[in-house]
């Protein structure tokens, strides 16, 4: 069997790829097996086709829906036909992977040749073996036999998500590319994944559902990786990577080791606020982090209970006080608006919560920053059937929050609801959405490209934003099976949401 030449296609700038653990993982797996590979990014400077020679397969990393039109642009730049059905014997097999396509592969099903539903470690060798077959047809047939791989052109048999059962024995990219002259998003640091998945079950959170079950790395393995990672990469900082950091029982000891034993700087991801203690906050501050991120999402107890993320507003204020008292200069609070059934009183409660947090922070010389995001109903979550608030309504709520919070002296940034609408259309799209993605990419991506593509194809955006009957099986569940997020469970959870919102 021939060894394939593989291309890694990352439809974002190089700097963004450097901050993606999946990118380092894929490169490391290929290098470890001695498989030649080439890389392509969405560069800001003009594309130079001379850099590139056509590989047997292109691995496209697609963590977010809004990267899909850029993937189309990348394929165009590479002169690879953008529709799977138009590719010939000489064209690479395009394989997509990442959270967004794991949840719903249908919107790329007309573009890519195969989608990996789940995590790459357990099936990497099988995928490489499948690519060694002599013809395009035989490669696709062999890929369809690999666990977790969905090949749209060979039928719609449901594919069960694959995942690494034990993180300690899973291969880890200890050597990470940290070039001089390019500043990665987290700074020059070694990225260390401590946990994959999250057991909390917040009803809007796609990552929480598709990465189940939660798997922790052991303290022993975390410390081994940390020491080796900072040594081989010659960096003085470790960026911890997980969904709910202190939910790993080893996290505090790992943090202690990094800061106190090795004298490293640290970066800790957004925390479950109820897991913050004085000791932990002091360690984070001693590791040089200036801002702590928490995600209460709302100040309304009713909404917090409905989305299954209730901590109590006193706990939020306590977390802010603990953080600032420990020496962190600011606390960033993530908020979501537009949950179905959210009222003016719920929004008022959010303003009140932030006002309280700001008072607590200011009394100790700190400050609060807020990031407001529109609610987007995502596939493979209990809220996948829920309607999304209309654009005008989202604008109104965001501008109300922005105005009221700015008056309190709070720095507010908000996700543009127009992008949220585009994201929702793709996230909940079926196979027909592939043509929208192609047209969107061809029209240059961005909001203008989305609007023009939807208009040209007569796409009724509102149809994708409307609620679905919860008795209906969403089309993505017919393609991808998530054993830890079964339809019956999601339905019951959605009902619990509706009951809680009254």
Residues in contact with ligand SF4 by CB under 6 A are 198, 200-202, 205, 207-208, 243-244, 272, 309
> Residue 309 or residue 397: which is nearer to ligand SF4 going by CB?
309
User: Please, which residue, 200 or 442, has the CB nearer to ligand SF4?
Assistant: 200
Compute the least distance from the CB of residue 243 to ligand SF4, in Å.
Answer: 4
The CB-of-220 to ligand SF4 minimum distance in angstroms stands at 25
Nearer to ligand SF4, 212 or 404 (CB): 212
Q: Dmax of the chain from CA atoms?
A: 69
Asked if residues 207 and 236 have their Cβ atoms less than 8 Å apart, the reply is: no
Alpha carbon distance 324, 281 (integer Å) = 8
Q: Closer to ligand SF4 by CB, 207 or 265: give it.
A: 207
Least CB distance from residue 202 to ligand SF4, whole Å? 3
Hey, which residues does 23 pair with through a beta bridge?
Answer: none
Q: How far is the CB of 475 from ligand SF4 (least distance, A)?
A: 24
Q: Between 128 and 295, name the residue whose CB sits nearer to ligand SF4.
A: 295
Nearest approach, Cβ of residue 327 and ligand SF4 (Å): 25
Strand pairing category for 215-216 and 195-196: antiparallel
Nearest distance, CB of residue 129 and ligand SF4, angstroms:
34
- Comparing CB distances to ligand SF4, the nearer of 87 and 196 is 196
* Complex with ligand SF4: residue 122 or 201, whichever CB lies closer: 201
End-to-end CA separation in angstroms for the chain: 61
**Beta carbons of 4 and 128 less than 8 angstroms apart:** yes
State how far the Cα of 420 lies from the Cα of 391, in Å rounded to an integer: 9
Residues 114 and 96 sit within 8 Å (Cβ to Cβ): yes
Give CA angle at 353 (347, 356), nearest 5°.
145
Per 3-state DSSP, what percentage of the chain is helix, strand, and coil (rounded to 5)?
A: 45, 15, 40
Residue nearest to ligand SF4 (CB): 208
Nearer to ligand SF4 by Cβ, of 207 and 439: the residue is 207
Least Cβ distance, residue 197 to ligand SF4 (angstroms): 8
Cα separation, 136 vs 73, whole angstroms: 23
Shortest separation between residue 55's beta carbon and ligand SF4, angstroms: 35
Q: C-beta of 500: minimal distance to ligand SF4 in Å?
A: 16
* Alpha-carbon torsion (336, 342, 345, 346), positive or negative: negative
Tokens coding 164? 């690494």
Phi, psi of 420 (to 5 degrees): -65, -40
Question: Which is nearest to 332 in space by CA: 360, 290, 300?
Answer: 290
Please list, in sequence order, all residues whose beta carbon lies within 8 angstroms of the beta carbon of residue 347, skipping any fewer than 6 positions away.
300, 337, 397, 400, 401
* Residue 242 Cβ vs ligand SF4, minimum distance, rounded to whole Å: 9
Burial status of residue 302 (CB atoms within 10 A of its CB: 0-12, 13-18, 19 or more): middle
| Rounded Cα distance, 400 and 345, in Å | 13
* Cα–Cα dist 91/223, whole Å: 43
**What is the nearest approach in angstroms of ligand SF4 to the Cβ of residue 127?**
28
Residues 86, 115: Cα–Cα separation, whole Å: 17
Q: Could you please report the per-residue DSSP string of 243-264?
A: SSGGGSTTHHHHHHIIIIIS--
Q: Which residue has tokens 């009183």?
A: 345
Sequence-separated contacts (24+) of 77-81 with Cβ below 8 Å: 77/40, 77/47, 77/49, 78/9, 78/40, 78/49, 78/52, 78/54, 79/49, 80/54
For residue 206, the minimal CB distance to ligand SF4 (Å) is 8
CB of 78 to ligand SF4, least distance (A): 34
269 closest CA partner among 210, 185, 325: 185
- Which strands sit side by side in the sheet containing 411-414, from one edge to the other? 291-297, 330-337, 367-374, 411-414
* CB-nearer residue toward ligand SF4: 197 or 445: 197
């Amino acid at each position: 069997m021939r060894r394939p030449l593989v291309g890694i296609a990352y439809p974002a700038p190089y700097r963004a790829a450097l901050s993606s653990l999946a990118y380092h993982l894929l490169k490391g797996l290929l290098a470890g097996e001695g498989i030649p590979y080439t890389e392509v990014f969405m560069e800001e400077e003009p594309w130079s086709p001379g850099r590139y020679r056509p590989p047997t397969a292109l691995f496209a990393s697609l963590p977010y829906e809004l990267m899909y039109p850029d993937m189309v642009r990348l394929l165009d730049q590479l002169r690879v036909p953008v529709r799977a059905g138009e590719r010939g014997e000489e064209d690479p097999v395009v394989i997509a992977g990442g959270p967004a396509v794991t949840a719903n592969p249908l919107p790329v099903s007309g573009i890519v040749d195969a989608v990996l539903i789940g995590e790459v470690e357990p099936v990497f060798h099988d995928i490489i073996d499948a690519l060694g077959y002599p013809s395009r047809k035989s490669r696709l047939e062999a890929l369809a036999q690999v666990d977790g791989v969905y090949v749209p052109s060979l039928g719609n048999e449901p594919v069960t998500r694959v995942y690494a059962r034990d993180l300690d024995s899973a291969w880890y990219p200890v050597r990470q590319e940290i070039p001089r002259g390019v500043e990665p998003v987290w700074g020059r640091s070694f990225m260390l994944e401590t946990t994959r998945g999250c057991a909390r079950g917040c009803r809007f959170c796609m990552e929480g559902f598709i990465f189940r079950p939660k798997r922790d790395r052991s303290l022993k393995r975390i410390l081994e990786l940390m020491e080796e990672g900072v040594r081989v990469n010659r960096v003085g900082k470790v960026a911890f990577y997980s969904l709910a950091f202190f939910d790993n029982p080893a996290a505090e000891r790992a943090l202690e080791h990094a800061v106190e034993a090795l004298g490293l700087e640290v970066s800790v991801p957004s925390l479950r606020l109820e897991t913050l203690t004085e000791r932990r906050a002091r360690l984070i501050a001693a590791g040089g982090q200036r801002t702590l991120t928490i995600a209460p999402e709302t100040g309304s107890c009713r909404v917090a209970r409905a989305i299954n993320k209730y901590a109590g507003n006193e706990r939020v204020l306590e977390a802010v006080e603990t953080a600032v008292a420990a020496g962190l200069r600011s606390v960033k609070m993530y908020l979501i608006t537009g949950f179905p059934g959210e009222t003016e009183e719920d929004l008022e409660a959010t303003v009140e919560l932030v006002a309280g947090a700001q008072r607590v922070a200011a009394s100790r010389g700190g400050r609060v920053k807020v990031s407001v995001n529109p609610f987007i109903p995502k596939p493979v979550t209990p809220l996948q059937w829920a309607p999304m608030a209309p654009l005008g309504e989202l604008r109104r709520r965001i501008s109300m929050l922005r105005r009221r919070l700015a008056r309190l002296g709070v720095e507010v940034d908000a996700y543009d609801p127009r992008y949220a609408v585009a994201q929702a259309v793709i996230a909940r799209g079926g196979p027909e959405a592939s043509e929208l993605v192609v047209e969107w990419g061809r029209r240059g991506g961005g909001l203008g490209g989305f609007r023009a593509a939807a208009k040209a194809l007569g796409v009724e955006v509102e149809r994708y934003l409307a609620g679905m009957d919860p008795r209906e099986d969403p089309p993505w569940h017919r393609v991808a099976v998530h054993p830890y997020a079964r339809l019956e469970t999601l339905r019951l959870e959605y009902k619990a949401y509706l009951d809680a919102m009254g």
